[in-house]
Structure 1
Amino acid sequence: MHAGFFIPADRIVSAVCQDPAMDLADVLDGLDDRPWAALQHAYGSAEDVPDGLRAVAGDDTEAAKEALYEFYGNIWHQGTVYAATVEAVPFLARLAAAGCHSAELLGLLGSIAESEDAHGVAPGACRAAVVAQLPLLLPLLAAEDAQVRQAAAWAIGHTGAQAEAWPGLERRWAEERGGVVRAELLAAMVRLDPAASAKAATGALDPAGPAELRVAGVLACLDAGLPWGVAHHDAVLSVLPADELVSERFDEEQREPLRAVVDALLRRDTDEDREAAFRLLDAALGREDPQVRGEAVWAADHACLVSRAAPARLVPALVPLLDDPLSASSVLSLLGKVAEQVGRAVVPSLVRLAGGGGDGGRDRDREGDEDGGDTADLALALLVTVAPERAAELLAAELPRRPRALAVAAGARGPGENTNEVALPFSPALLDAARRRLADPAVTGNEPIHLALLLALWGGRAAAAVPQLLDALPRIPLVGPKALVALCPTEGAVRERVENGLREAALRGPGDGRLASARALHELTGDVRPLLDAIRNKVAGGGYGVREAAQVAAGLTPATGVGPAAAELVPALRGALSDPAQQRNMPQLDGDVELAGALWRLTGDTTEAVRVLEGVLAEAGGAWFRWTGVRAARLAARLGSTARPLRPALEGMLTDPLHAPAATLALLAALPEEELRGQLNRTALADLVLASAEDGTDPDAAFEALTALGTRALTTEQRHRLAALADRDPRVVDSGLEDQIIRKDERLRTRARTVLADLGGRDAG
């Protein structure tokens, strides 16, 4: 998705066509001659575009606003442009030149020219269409309306047409006096010719000039690749807080100037520029103005997501802000992402903010201060990691008000991420509080789930909570059975009650939890009959339940003592396979992969599994199905040499960074060593796998594949690339859920170091 320029409907200016020299009949001449119905935009046929263009040209203000809003969704959709976009551009430019909603249409034209994501049209065709309209757009740089001049600069700057556009921008730069317009002109000039714009960018740092222009000057200097110096540092500090200074600018990526400056410096990836970014943040974090501090904390948060060095360098400057009520919450949110790097010096502040003394969170909670409660929860969540021995009693005292802290204590480090990295000490007080909450039927959602996970971490020491867990099973049908197994004593009345409760849940409990209860019952008693019945019922239910049931069935091998009985599942599993002659969805393909694995494990025959995988790999394309391909290749690797018929499909997956590691593992397992020659040799495979690791999509599989390839596969250059994954400053994992990016990247870094050592170090071979 491109940043682009988008004006919501409520900000669209109500303006009618104003240029009497342009007849609207001429502006829309040829409109009906274009093949609109045969063209496509984001929502299908573009047959509605002519009516939209007529509405923009008309005098019905509401209809024009609606049409403009639609154009920002159909011919330009979140940065993507279409065949219909090319045809619309000349009419959009004519309308803008005629004074019809000129600023809005110029903004749209600039976003179209900026786009690098074309659908159904040749790359660059839409930008070329805008370039062709420059004779109409360039005169608008001198329009009477400042917003039109600004929008014209935005649009022209994105054409990339340096020869045609530069003279007009340079001429306007010499004449323009409006600060915001000059800022947009400077940005446009830098886009077209960074070197030629360097003098103007440096001149814009003049302390006597408008603050808006100083902001643009700093950003332009960075875009032009100029060395960072004291003048740039001072210019940034002189305009803080800066967010409001760019609120009327069009570039969404620079709506937070301090963050944008820090990002640009860090991405230069030099020691000098990194330290320049950190010094700038140190200075901004030390300001008294709460607005400046707010911008600085946000920029520091971004720095930690971009740079591996940032947390250690910035935490000392952030910790003192915990004493500032206006900054504490945002600082805690940042520190929570780098909790493992915070250190114990922060413990007294966390205890106070979490409600352990002074005017902490507990007092503010009781006064009804919602922000105080949020701050206290964030502080306690961080304390769970930094000093778990101090956190347990505080969590017990305020358990209903501390959902984040409970989630971290239970092992939930972020959405969809559960680990047991935090070892919260056993606390009788917290156990009692957890039992009370579980006993309350009004406690629903994530809280009872996290309570069950916490109790499971304590194991038998939390056995007193068994009655509450049993009563809560309908609310926690998936995690409750696992927790009961962890807490259950080896004998006695409590054990008997757990077994009876699980048996009842497996037979008559909530449908989505019967399999989990049956598995737990089997683990405790060895009784396989409820488990086999639950697997059969889950498979019959279809959807993602098939995948879960097949995974459980695959574990019922002779080694577990269940093999003979589990054989009766084979007809049900085979009957659940989807029809390859029909168009299949992702749950069906994912289910088929697991079913293939289960059938192989239960029958010992790989033939059927290979046939199923062949069909899945033929369909597992497109963004939504890509992880299905990974799962299929993973199973192929376990099938070993019998998966050799899958070689063509597996080789076809090697060019996809996500698929390459799993496909490599499968090929290594399927092919004899003599076939790993020519283009499909170990060094070539290592190159593809390294590219996948550098992409950061599935690093665990990439490092597993590198280990499997072995030390002789890596060249010296490839070893240096592997070392860079461990040692470089820019994070490899740089996208995804913000609460997980840093931890995932740190795990990648650790794994890279381990694999490098296992393969003989940086210079071996």
Structure 2
Amino acid sequence: MDLSRFLAEVDAHPWAGLTHAYGSAADVPDCLRRLAGDDDEAAAEALSDLYGSILHQGSVYEATAHAVPCLARIAGAGIRTADVLALLGGIAENGADDGDSDEAAARRAVTAELPLLLASVGAEDSGVRQAAAWAAAMTGATAEAYGVLRERFAVESDPQVLADLLCGLVHLDPAGTAALAAGAIGPDRPAEVRIAALLGCVDAGAEWGREHHDAMLALLPADDLVAGRMDLDRNEPLQYVVSSLLLRDTPADRDGAYELLGAALRGGRPGVLAEAVWAAESAVQVSRSARRRLADPLCDAVRRDPSVTGEVLPLLRLLGGHAAPAGAVLAELAARDDERADRALAALVDVDAARAVPLLARDLARRPQALDAACGGLLGSPRVPCDAALLTAVRARLADPGALSGQEPFRYAALLEAWGSRASCALPEVLGALGTFPQQMARAVAAVCDPADLAVAGGALRREARSGQREGRLGVARALYELTGDAGPLLTVLAEGLADGGAHRTREAASVAAGLGTHATGLLPALRAAVSDPAADRTVPDLDADVAVAEALWRIGGRAEEAVPLLRGALDETGLSWMRWTVARAARVAGLLAGEGRPLTDALRRLLPDPLQTPAAVLALRAVAPEVLDAAAVAGMLLDSVEQDADPFTALDALQELGPTAMTGGHRRRLTGLAERDVRVTSSSADTATAPADERFQTRAREVLRALREPDA
């Protein structure tokens, strides 16, 4: 390659008019120049920059396809060939087969370089062969690439290259490669090839049998065997195999997955347990039966060798009450005075809360993780009873507010709210901490206050609402209103929030004002003044605030003529993915307007094809313009939303709202399958919240099915 000529051609390309992950692609020529240069350190930085800009976190952009021919010329010239071919493979992997999108253009661009890729499959350097094989497979060009890769597989000797060749062949033709993969799992093959073959068997849909089970166990721990692979999607083999089998959702595949996991958990071999625990954690996210089926092997492992407990604590927490047989070991660890005690107690809260409460009460100040677990973590709610010893410990901590740290004030408030009047004896300590932690303690005051203490509690809240910390005044004023009905301080705080000018405070104040109804009539001028400028470049917080104001204008004064334009401003942002939740919220508010929201009909109908927005749009249209809905058609769209875990709970509400006449036999079978299958529907929640969320979904889905029984049933 004539480097000078190449660089001149690169510089002459109109990069500034193209875009990548960070905007203008004007910096791409400099990256290509450094990548093709003699300075290895500068080239490495350039490669990293290109991964960040034209292949950013697995996304390709307008400039990506334009960069591909330049990258191919660099690789073809023998300049950092393996690294550049790997980048081309990543671009192809994240492209698309059809259409006019950036993704389709990127894959077409790499496919156009197949002659280079296939020629490089036989290169002298093993790294080049490996990258070329993977990149060629990622183009999806089966007719052109499969035969070349198959021929190379027959003569290749390097285990890593063999593994990626096999992976590429399976990617191009799973069924056609099934026999080749099955024949490569035997002990006569290198371990790297055997693990690739097992993964290939799974991808090819092969029945998981005893030979697969035995080979997988013999290869564990397996993560290091794929560390050198180009295929990063399968870089945790045990987890990948288990999850893939569970997603097939057949009894035989479930049995195979859990037999494999059970053997790995019970085996006790060094290095295997960590991989087995991670695979089991993933199984809980996928399978409804996981917590029950994993309990015995995990508890067996803990009871046989308590020293492994620290490694399996996260999994024990996920199993919850199913792991109760391990409670005695956890209690012993939690009673110690070492760094594991808090983690063990947190697990015990999830596994056996009754056993955990006395230990938590005994050493509350030094058990932040256990306290967090007792309160349900980030997304949950308190899960421990109102125990006398624990309540005494909470009161003791609140009696010295200055000693509280971290999340303690939030956690104690959450416990007291959950316990309510059963914790009324804690009111003096809560009032004592109110001035220091008004946001947290205000709700606790309202929750624990007995009628006999109403005057004392109301007086304290009123003083704090008028002269306390600015950031806590809204919560305090709300608690005062809920406890006594005195709206004066709350209206004052809301007026200040609406006048503040910030989108966050506007949304917060408008949302609270909406709940006051006609009691907030005096805030209508402030609400109108808080609306964002439609001519400005509005952000998500601005539109969220406008939606909240629209709801307040409607709930307080029935101002549909003012609410409709605000809602339309949000509903028209359907093309921007980061606006989707804002649009869905606007649809929900539109539904409150009923017939007064008819001008929003067309905007709401445009939302129906988006699974995230389908449920809210259906509910809104049912209220605004029910005649425009094809009930049977939208029932199918709602089931699509459920299947994609887009907005499943709202979708169930919408299905029930449509009524039984909208449900065909096929619809009922689909919903029954979602309610009763083993694969979870709701699997996007964090940590320990996933299983409870999906269990709530199951319960709700069964309720809806009962409500939607055929009229003659």
| Fold similarity call, TM over 0.5 | yes
CA distance in 1: counterparts of 2:63 and 2:564, whole angstroms: 45
Check if 1:37 corresponds to 2:16: yes
Q: Residues 197-596 of structure 1: matches in 2 within 5 Å? A: 197-323=177-303, 324-325=305-306, 327-340=308-321, 342=322, 344-355=324-335, 362-363=336-337, 365=338, 370=339, 372-383=340-351, 386=352, 388-410=353-375, 412=376, 414-415=377-378, 417-420=379-382, 422-436=383-397, 439-491=400-452, 495-541=454-500, 542-557=502-517, 563=519, 566-596=520-550
CA distance in 2: counterparts of 1:63 and 1:444, whole angstroms: 46
Q: Aligned with 1:259: secondary structure? A: helix
Deviations 1:521-577 (A, max 9, x none): 22333322211111111211232222222222222246xxxx3xx322222222222
Is the CA contact 1:103–1:148 (under 8 Å) kept in the aligned structure 2? yes
The residue type paired with residue 380 of structure 2 is: N
Q: Which residue of 1 aligns with 2:590?
A: 636
Is the CA contact 1:700–1:748 (under 8 Å) kept in the aligned structure 2? yes
Query: Taking structure 1 as reference, are residues 710 and 735 closer, same or farther at Cα in structure 2, changes over 3 Å only?
Result: same
Q: Which moved more, 1:439-448 or 1:512-521?
A: 439-448
Q: Aligned with 1:453: secondary structure? A: helix
The residue type paired with residue 502 of structure 1 is: L
Q: Residues 672-687 of structure 1: matches in 2 within 5 Å? A: 675-676=627-628, 680-687=629-636
Q: CA deviation at 1:707?
A: 1.0
Q: Aligned with 2:572: secondary structure? A: helix
Is the CA contact 2:331–2:348 (under 8 Å) kept in the aligned structure 1? yes
Q: Which residue of 1 aligns with 2:59?
A: 80
CA distance in 2: counterparts of 1:161 and 1:702, whole angstroms: 39
CA distance in 1: counterparts of 2:393 and 2:204, whole angstroms: 62
Q: CA deviation at 1:619?
A: 3.5
Q: Percent identity?
A: 48
Deviations 1:300-339 (A, max 9, x none): 1111111112221111111123344553234331232342
Is the CA contact 1:281–1:296 (under 8 Å) kept in the aligned structure 2? yes
Aligned length: 710
Aligned with residue 637 of structure 2, among 672, 685, 688: 688
Q: CA deviation at 1:633?
A: 1.8
CA distance in 2: counterparts of 1:107 and 1:736, whole angstroms: 33
The residue type paired with residue 314 of structure 1 is: L
Check if 1:614 corresponds to 2:559: no
Is the CA contact 1:651–1:663 (under 8 Å) kept in the aligned structure 2? yes
The residue type paired with residue 316 of structure 2 is: L
The residue type paired with residue 515 of structure 1 is: L
Q: CA deviation at 1:474?
A: 4.6
The residue type paired with residue 482 of structure 2 is: E
Query: Taking structure 1 as reference, are residues 469 and 219 closer, same or farther at Cα in structure 2, changes over 3 Å only?
Result: same
Q: Which moved more, 1:638-647 or 1:329-338?
A: 329-338
Higher helix fraction: Structure 1 or Structure 2?
Answer: 2
Q: Residues 14-29 of structure 1: matches in 2 within 5 Å? A: 24-25=3-4
Q: CA deviation at 1:108?
A: 0.4
Is the CA contact 2:299–2:323 (under 8 Å) kept in the aligned structure 1? no
Check if 1:661 corresponds to 2:622: no
CA distance in 1: counterparts of 2:712 and 2:88, whole angstroms: 55
Check if 1:741 corresponds to 2:690: yes
CA distance in 2: counterparts of 1:222 and 1:149, whole angstroms: 25
CA distance in 1: counterparts of 2:712 and 2:345, whole angstroms: 49
Aligned with residue 725 of structure 1, among 674, 678, 702: 674
CA distance in 1: counterparts of 2:617 and 2:341, whole angstroms: 49
CA distance in 2: counterparts of 1:49 and 1:511, whole angstroms: 49
Is the CA contact 1:56–1:63 (under 8 Å) kept in the aligned structure 2? yes
Output the TM-score relative to the length of structure 2: 0.94
CA distance in 2: counterparts of 1:135 and 1:513, whole angstroms: 67
Is the CA contact 1:28–1:91 (under 8 Å) kept in the aligned structure 2? no
CA distance in 1: counterparts of 2:521 and 2:386, whole angstroms: 44
CA distance in 2: counterparts of 1:88 and 1:620, whole angstroms: 31
Query: Taking structure 1 as reference, are residues 131 and 458 closer, same or farther at Cα in structure 2, changes over 3 Å only?
Result: closer
Q: CA deviation at 1:242?
A: 0.7
Q: Aligned with 1:215: secondary structure? A: helix
Q: CA deviation at 1:717?
A: 0.5
Check if 1:702 corresponds to 2:636: no
Q: CA deviation at 1:588?
A: 2.3
Q: Aligned with 1:47: secondary structure? A: coil
Is the CA contact 1:305–1:734 (under 8 Å) kept in the aligned structure 2? yes
Is the CA contact 1:146–1:181 (under 8 Å) kept in the aligned structure 2? yes
Q: CA deviation at 1:222?
A: 1.5
Q: CA deviation at 1:196?
A: 3.1
Q: Which moved more, 1:76-85 or 1:643-652?
A: 76-85
Which consecutive unaligned segments of at least 5 residues does structure 2 have? none
Deviations 1:9-51 (A, max 9, x none): xxxxxxxxxxxxx554576573334222222222222232222
Check if 1:50 corresponds to 2:35: no
Deviations 1:505-535 (A, max 9, x none): 2112222211111122223333222111111
CA distance in 2: counterparts of 1:513 and 1:697, whole angstroms: 35
Deviations 1:223-242 (A, max 9, x none): 22222222211111111111
Is the CA contact 1:353–1:379 (under 8 Å) kept in the aligned structure 2? no
Aligned with residue 74 of structure 2, among 61, 83, 95: 95
Aligned with residue 661 of structure 2, among 686, 706, 712: 712
Q: Which moved more, 1:198-207 or 1:619-628?
A: 619-628
The residue type paired with residue 86 of structure 1 is: A
Q: CA deviation at 1:161?
A: 1.6
CA distance in 2: counterparts of 1:329 and 1:759, whole angstroms: 47
The residue type paired with residue 418 of structure 1 is: G
Q: Which residue of 2 aligns with 1:4?
A: none
Query: Taking structure 1 as reference, are residues 177 and 715 closer, same or farther at Cα in structure 2, changes over 3 Å only?
Result: same
Q: CA deviation at 1:449?
A: 0.7
Is the CA contact 2:550–2:567 (under 8 Å) kept in the aligned structure 1? yes
The residue type paired with residue 719 of structure 1 is: R
The residue type paired with residue 157 of structure 1 is: A
Check if 1:751 corresponds to 2:711: no
Q: Which moved more, 1:112-121 or 1:567-576?
A: 112-121
Deviations 1:389-436 (A, max 9, x none): 3222111112123223222323x3x42x2335x241322354234432
Is the CA contact 2:346–2:374 (under 8 Å) kept in the aligned structure 1? no
CA distance in 2: counterparts of 1:76 and 1:269, whole angstroms: 34
Is the CA contact 1:641–1:671 (under 8 Å) kept in the aligned structure 2? yes
Q: Which moved more, 1:432-441 or 1:165-174?
A: 432-441
CA distance in 2: counterparts of 1:309 and 1:695, whole angstroms: 20
Is the CA contact 2:316–2:347 (under 8 Å) kept in the aligned structure 1? no
Deviations 1:184-206 (A, max 9, x none): 11111111222332232122112
Q: CA deviation at 1:655?
A: 1.0
The residue type paired with residue 347 of structure 2 is: A
Q: CA deviation at 1:496?
A: 4.3
Q: Which residue of 2 aligns with 1:646?
A: 600
